[in-house]
Structures are given as C-alpha cells and as structure tokens.
DNA sequence: CGGGCGTTTGAAGGATGTCAATGATAGTGG
DNA sequence: CCACTATCATTGACATCCTTCAAACGCCCG
C-alpha cells in the first residue's frame, strides 16, 4: 500500500547457504551471490515492487510472506501468488514487473542487485541452471493454481487451496490429538485477501469455511488456523485431485 | 484421447532457423539443435504426452494447436494452456509431465530428444539462456491467465480471453470494413474446450458470446470466428484490464 | 468504555450449472 | 445427389450457487 515507507536496509549478509534453494550450489557460486546480497526488511502492507516498476533487485524471502497481485483499472484486485520463506521473488532478465509485490506480513528479504545478478548468471552456468529450475517450479505452481481456479464452485477452490497449504511444511504441522493425527494449517492472509486469491468474495469464503466445519471436514481454531479432520473428505471436495499431497 | 495411434515420424529436419524462438541463437546452436530434431505429426485428438508420463522428448510446434490439460479423478477436465505455432511444449529438466498434452487440431511438431537436449543445454550457455527466457515468458502468460480466471463472471473471463487472442497475430487480423477497422479473431477450439479453459460450461459460454453480440461488442461470423466491433467496450467488460493490448 | 477492523450471518436478486430438447453442419454411405 | 448420422452449438426451464447489501458480532487497542 505504502510505497513511500522505505524498507530498513542493513548491510548484514544473508545466510544464503542455509536457504534450501541455494544449498546445491557450489561454494564459489554461493560466495559470489553473498557478495551482491543485501537484507531488506518490510513491514506488513509495504510495497516491495510496484506494478510496471523497473526494480533494481530481486531475491528470496528469509522470513515473512509476500503477496503478488494485480490491481485492475476498475479497482478490483487479483492475488496471483503468495510467496513464503525460501521462495524467490521478482524477475531476473525482465525489466518491468507485471505485478505489485507487497508484504502481507512483516518480512525480511535477501536481495540481489539486478544488474550484478545478471552478470553473475552469464558467467556462472550452475547459477543459471538453478534459476532455470526454479522458474520451472514456479511455472508448475502457477499451472496448479490455474487448475484450482478452474474449479467452478468456491467450496472446491477452497478445498484445493487447503490441500496446497497442507503440502507446505511451513504452513502445516501434524498435531497428535487423542485418537488420530490432524494436520494444522495456518492461513497467512485475511478473508478478503483469500477471496481475491480464490476469485470470490469474503462473505462467500466465510460461508464455505463454515460449511466445511459443519460437515466435520475441518475444525476452525481461529479465523486463520484450521485443523484438517477428514483429509479424504477434503480431497473429495476438491474434485478428488489431491494436489500433490500423495506425490512421492 | 487415443494414446495408441502412433504419430507419423519423419526424419526430415525442421526449419528451426525460421522459428522466431530460435532466430536469435548463434548458428552453431541452431545446427546442434537441428541435429537432434525430428518431426512428428499428430492428428486431432491424439495424445502427445500423457499425464505422469516420462516423455523422451520436448520440442516446439511447427503447425497446429496443442492443448495442455489435467483430468481430475472425478472426470472433470481443466485446460491449463493452449499452445500454438512456434510455442515450445513439454518440459526440459523434468522427468514427469504434470499434464496431458493433446493435439487439439492436426499438428506438426519439431521434437528434441530429451537427454540429447539436456546435454546440449549444459554445454551451450546461449541455448540455456534461451530456454530460461522462454520459461519466464510462459510464467508471465500463466500469471496473466490466473488473473483472467480470477474474474468472477464468465462474461469478464470471455472478454479477457478475446483480448488475449487479439494480441496474437496468428489468431487475429485487422479487417478493413466500410467505416472503420475491425479485429477478426479466430477461436481455435470448440465451445466445450473453451468452457473447460475458462472454468465454466459450454452452455454458459454460448450465452456469454451471444450476449456480447447482442450488445454490439462483437459480431459472430461463425462459431469460431468473431469480429471485434467495440474494442473499448470489450476492455471495459474485462474489468478495464487491457491484457497487454496497449502495451508498447 | 468506545471505536475501528475483520469476520460472520441474513435476505434477496442475479448469475451459473444442469438437464433436456432443438437446430445447424459436415461427413458417410447408399 | 440425397438421406442419415454424428457432432457441435444453441435455447429453454429450473435448481443451485454466488454476489450484493445490510447488519450484527467479536476482538484488539486507544
């Protein structure tokens, strides 16, 4: 929202070697990356990169959640993707951003200067390969999201969304309770954002969530925290697509 | 549909140098590609790559249209993308496909052996860079599609779809008629496929198309061919997002 | 305590899905 | 050439789902 609030900038280096994305890189590549890396911290609501900007950096998330979104000229907002810890954000090799990238929560980012990174890519095949694979994974995720949005009923889209959340260890944890395991998922955004994300309205989201609860498929601990009580039931709700939950 | 019908395979080389995707490559790279390229032809309805397959090849389309789709276990189909001439299909560096790729029309494909291509990529930075940029473009297209599917009304999604088609020279042509220019777009798939693509049903597509025609925004020449009579009106229908039509 | 924010609930109208029937077109075989 | 069939597009009727507007509720914070 607030383009004017500048992020806090520290010269402290990131611990890139700990990021899963970079772990497979040879040491020299990591060192080269580290040299052009700066940490930026944002508060919830701040804009990281604005639509049609030519940002000077790209990077990955150390902590927090970013929201990629497009605001249509008529005022409606569509969330295109949520980025969580260890995800890369921004776009190398592209001048203009096609989306707003905003901090959905307070966030700490490892940022690389765009030009320096592109130089590095051209000289370091291992690094370029890493970025290629990373973009391929993002493409998979985007296509999975397309399938989700292709579901006609909101209840189906919500079920599919929860299944995708279940797959992310950062947002889901197994909870041992009484008789059997539960999966606890944390939804990092509010109802209105979730509605934009799923192509509907906050009221409809609310009704769909409570419908799942009424059927005993989930339990609502608080508006942002659910327990999955009936995983097969949830999968059935999503059109039996398990969204990779049983993927080896 | 029919996995069993084998494609026609010729050893004739592709004219890769004419493909816009490859045009910027140095001559050596194109020659190397040409050496591992084989032409395959498919008839409408044949499966090129099946979901969960480990296809031995990837490539680009010389002629025809491919349909990327996912069939959910409950039988519903979602089209994730349409691939037209000069688009790349399949996925380098990934073993399993996540989607069915079927020929929507008769198609002629320039195919590269997967392993040979991956070897080539590792040895040819220019080629790897080309693939990286190509995947980045696909990612942009996928995100644009996510925005389209985020529209709540079918009429909005249809309008956005037509705007995207307008941008493709292969599917749109300017037609001089009487007083002013028209843009003629050719929809290369039937109503049922279009419905799967836009997350709705064939009947609803039909009604939405005729609603646009009744308002004088488009003219229906035949079920697959429309003239855009009122481009601003169409843009307004799509939530005022012009989907890059006015992009420099 | 009171105000703001986000969530939830209710009611009514509009949009879409579904089922069924009809119309249009191209290809087939006589 | 024509009847026949298969396929696709269109239309209608009705049930369901969703949006919209409005109001109530809960919660955090000043």
B104, B15: one domain = yes
* B168 confidence band (pLDDT: 50, 70, 90): confident
* Domain contains A246: no
- B91 vs A136: CB contact, 8 Å cut-off? yes
**Confidence (pLDDT) at B12:** 57
In a domain, A71, yes or no: yes
Taking contacts as CB-CB distances below 8 angstroms, the residues of chain A near B135 are 132, 135-136, 139
Smallest CA–CA distance from A129 into chain B, residue = B128
- In this predicted structure, the answer to whether residue B1 has a pLDDT above a threshold of 50 is no
> Which pLDDT belongs to residue B73?
86
Q: Do A107 and A219 sit in the same domain of this protein? A: no
Higher pLDDT among residues B242 and B37, named by residue: B37
Q: Are residues B160 and B126 in the same domain?
A: no
> What pLDDT does B176 receive?
61
Q: What is the pLDDT of residue B94?
A: 84
B3: in domain: no
Question: What CATH number does the domain containing A20 carry?
Answer: 2.60.120.10
Residues A79 and A101 in one domain: yes
Please write down the long-range contacts of A165-170, taking CB distance under 8 Å and 24 or more positions apart. Answer: A166/A228, A166/A231, A166/A245, A167/A243, A167/A244, A167/A245, A168/A84, A170/A84, A170/A85, A170/A86
Q: Are residues A24 and A108 in the same domain?
A: yes
CB contact under 8 A, A143 and B200: no
Report yes or no on B242 lying in a domain.
no
Q: Is B91 on the interface with A (CB under 8 A)?
A: yes
Pairs of CB atoms within 8 A across A/B? 118
Q: What is the pLDDT of residue A202?
A: 97
A128-145: pLDDT as tens digits: 999 999 999 999 999 999
Is the predicted pLDDT of residue B150 greater than 60, yes or no? yes
Is the residue at A2 inside a domain?
no
For residue A242, tell me if it sits in a domain.
no
Q: Do A241 and B72 touch (CB under 8 A)?
A: yes
Q: Is the CB of B119 under 7 A from strand C?
A: no
In the DSSP assignment, the letter for residue A74 is: T
Instruction: Round to whole Å and give the CA distance between A12 and B114.
Output: 43
Same domain, B85 and B126: yes
Alpha helices in chain B (DSSP H): 27-35, 114-123, 125-150, 154-167, 191-198, 202-214, 231-237
Give the bases of strand D that a protein CB approaches within 7 Å.
Answer: 8-13, 17-22
Cβ of B86 less than 7 A from strand D: no
A113 with A228, same domain: the answer is no
Interface with chain A: mutation pick from B150, B199, B235, highest number of A CBs within 10 Å: B150
Q: Which residue has the tokens 């609860």?
A: A213
Alpha-carbon span B243 to B144, nearest angstrom: 8
Cα–Cα separations (whole angstroms), residue B131 to B137, B154, B215: 10, 34, 43
Nucleotide nearest to B210 (CA to C1'): D10
**Same domain, residue pair A130 and A204:** no
pLDDT above 70: percentage of residues in chain B: 89
β-partners of residue A77 are: A71
Given B148, B169, B191, the domain boundary residue is B148
Whether residue B1 is contained in a domain is answered as: no
d(CA A130, nearest CA chain B) in Å:
10
A17 and A104 together in one domain: yes
- CA distance between the termini of chain A: 40
A40-44, A103-107, A120-124: range with highest mean pLDDT: A120-124
pLDDT band at B7 (very low <50, low <70, confident <90, very high): low
pTM of the model: 0.90
pLDDT of residue B179: 55
Same structural domain for residues B33 and B115?
Answer: yes
| Reported confidence tier of residue B236, pLDDT bands at 50, 70, 90 | very high
A86 and A158 belong to one structural domain: no
Alpha helices in B36-124 (DSSP H): 114-123
Report how many domains make up chain A.
2
For the segment 88-147 of chain A, residues whose CB is within 7 A of strand C = none
Alpha-carbon distance of B173 to B227, in angstroms, equals 9
Q: Is B142 on the interface with A (CB under 8 A)?
A: yes
Do A47 and A94 belong to one domain?
yes
Domain that holds residue B160: 153-237
Asked if residue B52 has pLDDT above 80, the reply is yes
Whether residue A49 is predicted with pLDDT greater than 80 in this model: the reply is: yes
Reported as a single tens digit per residue, the pLDDT across B57-102 is 999 999 899 999 999 888 889 999 999 988 999 988 888 999 999 9
CATH number at A204 reads 1.10.10.10
Q: A218 and A235 in contact (C-beta within 8 Å)? A: no
pLDDT (tens digit per residue) in B198-208:
999 999 999 99
Residue at a domain's end among B92, B119, B148: B148
**Quick one: angle between helices A125-150 and B125-150, nearest 10?**
20
Give nucleotides in strand C with any atom < 7 A to a protein C-beta.
6-11, 15-20
The answer to the question of residue A167 being in a domain is yes
Give which of B102, B86, B84 is closest to B188, Cα–Cα.
Answer: B84
Q: Which of B129, B138, B146 sits opposite A149 (nearest CB)?
A: B146
Q: Could you tell me if A147 lies within 8 Å of chain B, comparing CB atoms?
A: yes
Instruction: Please give the structure tokens belonging to residue A1.
Output: 């929202």
Q: Give, for B76, the enclosing helix (H) or strand (E).
A: none
Q: Among A125, A148, A171, which residue terminates a domain?
A: A148
């Amino acid at each position: 929202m607030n383009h004017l609030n500048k992020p806090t900038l520290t010269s402290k280096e990131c611990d890139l070697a700990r990021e899963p994305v970079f772990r497979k890189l040879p040491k020299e590549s990591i060192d080269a990356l580290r040299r052009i890396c700066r940490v930026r911290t944002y508060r919830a609501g701040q804009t990281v990169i604005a639509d049609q900007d030519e940002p000077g950096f790209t990077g990955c998330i150390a902590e927090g959640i970013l929201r990629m979104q497009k605001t249509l000229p008529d005022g409606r907002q569509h969330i295109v993707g949520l980025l969580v810890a260890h995800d890369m954000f921004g776009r190398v090799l592209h001048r203009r951003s096609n989306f707003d990238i905003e901090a959905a929560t307070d966030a700490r980012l490892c940022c690389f200067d765009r030009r320096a990174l592109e130089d590095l890519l051209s000289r370091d095949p291992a690094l370029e390969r890493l970025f290629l694979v990373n973009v391929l994974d993002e493409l998979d995720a985007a296509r999975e999201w397309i399938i989700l949005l292709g579901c006609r009923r909101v209840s189906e889209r919500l079920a599919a969304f929860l299944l995708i959340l279940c797959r992310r260890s950062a947002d889901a944890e197994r909870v041992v309770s009484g008789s059997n395991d539960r999966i606890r998922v944390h939804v990092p955004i509010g109802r209105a954002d979730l509605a934009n994300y799923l192509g509907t309205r906050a009221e409809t989201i609310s009704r769909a969530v409570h419908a799942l609860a009424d059927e005993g498929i989930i339990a609502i601990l608080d508006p942002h925290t659910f327990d999955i009580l009936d995983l097969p039931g949830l999968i059935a709700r999503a059109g039996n697509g398990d969204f990779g939950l049983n993927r080896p």
